[in-house]
Amino acid sequence: MASPGPVEMGALLDAAGLDWTPRPAQDGAIDVVALSTEALARYTSLPETSPAALVAEWRAITQAQ
């Protein structure tokens, strides 16, 4: 479950159909946290994907366990 580039947490929560309330960030909060997928991309293709597709992958993985 990975996609190049950051994905907004709110978009993932919306795609998962979860209730959430946006709030202003606290002072000193980090604006963007992103996992580098460069090493993984050397072994497999990582096409840009949507939050809904990432949630579907997550659900498929958790249901298979």
Composition of the chain by helix, strand, coil, percent to 5: 40, 0, 60
Angstrom distance (rounded) from CA 41 to CA 1: 12
Please tell me the predicted confidence (pLDDT) of residue 1. Answer: 60
By the 8 A CB rule, do 36 and 3 touch? no
Quick one: pLDDT band at residue 7, thresholds 50, 70, 90?
confident
CA distance 2 to 65: 18
- Single-letter amino acid code for the residue at 63: Q
Closest CA to 17 of 48, 42, 52: 52
- The better pLDDT of the pair 2, 51 is held by 51
pLDDT tens digits, one per residue of 21-51: 999 999 999 988 888 888 988 998 888 788 9
